[in-house]
């Protein structure tokens, strides 16, 4: 009995020590530090670049990096200091992701849906929002609390990771064995990323109305192909998302107008 009590006390101490809050004040349990998360993100990104087909057109990565740079400028200093890096992958499925450590990827197929810099900024702002809100850390912490994620911490170093542990690490971060397969975050995480992403793009001088257009384009792509693109299927309830993004426009438009008046006029192509 004493042993179980000590275990419970240690468990509660671990949870309390990991309490944190999101930028807007939501309480989180984070049992993984930023340094570990960043190392995991870098290891996963390097794994993708080594094993997935990267684009042979450098301009696509440059285009993505230009948008990322504009968005990152609007982040808090702790996030700006990360070594943000972008890579385009030659995969037809429209998808994008951002990993802890400042690693951002897009599939070139996304450029058929996000047809201008504003729409791509909507996607990338959303994905960067996941990083800023430490959603991957919450996912991993939940797995640890469930008793199934203890090996993830050992996997993050990369050089010591077995193939199985690497797969666990990438799944925890929200990516599958290929960039074309992304695992969904929770509905709460998605809503937070939508909100912060739309505000982030507005602050950077990208038109926040393009977030609505982007998801409408996704719905059109669904109708044209008769099936849901993975980016749509892993971001639930697109009709509600479009409604929420439209509802937010009266608050976001003045932020955008102020940014433009201040000379923030991204020209990424």
Domain count, the chain: 1
The pLDDT value recorded for residue 33 is: 87
Most confident of 109-113, 228-232, 249-253: 249-253
Question: What mean pLDDT is predicted for residues 250-266?
Answer: 98
Is 82 among the domain residues?
yes
The pLDDT value recorded for residue 238 is: 75
Residue 15 has pLDDT above 50, yes or no: no
Position 25 confidence tier, pLDDT thresholds 50, 70, 90: confident
Is 7 among the domain residues?
no
Is 248 among the domain residues?
yes
Alpha helices (H) along the chain: 2-17, 34-51, 58-72, 77-80, 117-132, 135-145, 150-155, 163-173, 187-203, 209-225, 230-233, 238-261
At 94-117, the pLDDT tens digits run 889 999 999 999 999 999 999 999
Is 23 among the domain residues?
yes
Question: What mean pLDDT is predicted for residues 249-254?
Answer: 98
Is 266 among the domain residues?
no
Distance (Å, rounded) from C-alpha 23 to C-alpha 2? 39
The pLDDT value recorded for residue 21 is: 80
Distance (Å, rounded) from C-alpha 239 to C-alpha 96? 20
At 53-82, the pLDDT tens digits run 899 899 999 999 999 999 999 999 999 999
Residue 143 has pLDDT above 50, yes or no: yes
Is 205 among the domain residues?
yes
The pLDDT value recorded for residue 24 is: 75
Distance (Å, rounded) from C-alpha 216 to C-alpha 214? 5
Is 2 among the domain residues?
no
List the domain range (segments joined by +) for residue 211. 19-261
Is 213 among the domain residues?
yes
The pLDDT value recorded for residue 5 is: 43
């Amino acid at each position: 009995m004493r042993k179980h009590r000590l275990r419970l006390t240690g468990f509660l101490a671990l949870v309390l020590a990991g309490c944190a809050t999101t930028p807007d004040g939501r309480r989180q349990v984070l049992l993984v530090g930023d340094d570990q998360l960043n190392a995991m993100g870098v290891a996963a990104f390097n794994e993708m670049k080594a094993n997935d087909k990267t684009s042979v057109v450098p301009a696509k990565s440059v285009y993505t990096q230009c948008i990322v740079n504009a968005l990152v400028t609007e982040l808090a200093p702790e996030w700006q200091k990360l070594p943000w890096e972008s890579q385009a992958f030659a995969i037809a499925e429209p998808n994008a992701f951002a990993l802890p450590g400042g690693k951002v990827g897009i599939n070139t197929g996304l450029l058929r849906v996000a047809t201008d810099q504003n729409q791509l900024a909507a996607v990338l702002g959303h994905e960067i929002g996941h990083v800023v809100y430490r959603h991957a850390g919450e996912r991993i912490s939940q797995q640890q609390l469930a008793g199934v994620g203890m090996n993830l911490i050992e996997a993050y170093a990369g050089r010591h990771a077995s193939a199985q542990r690497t797969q666990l690490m990438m799944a925890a971060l929200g990516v599958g064995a290929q960039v074309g397969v992304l695992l969904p975050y929770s509905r709460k995480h998605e809503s937070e990323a939508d909100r912060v992403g739309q505000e982030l793009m507005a602050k950077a001088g990208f038109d926040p109305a393009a977030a609505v257009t982007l998801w409408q384009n996704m719905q059109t792509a669904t109708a044209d192909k008769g099936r849901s693109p993975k980016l749509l299927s892993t971001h639930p309830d697109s009709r509600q998302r479009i409604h929420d993004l439209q509802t937010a426009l009266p608050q976001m438009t003045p932020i955008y107008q102020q940014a433009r008046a201040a000379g923030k006029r991204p020209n990424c192509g």
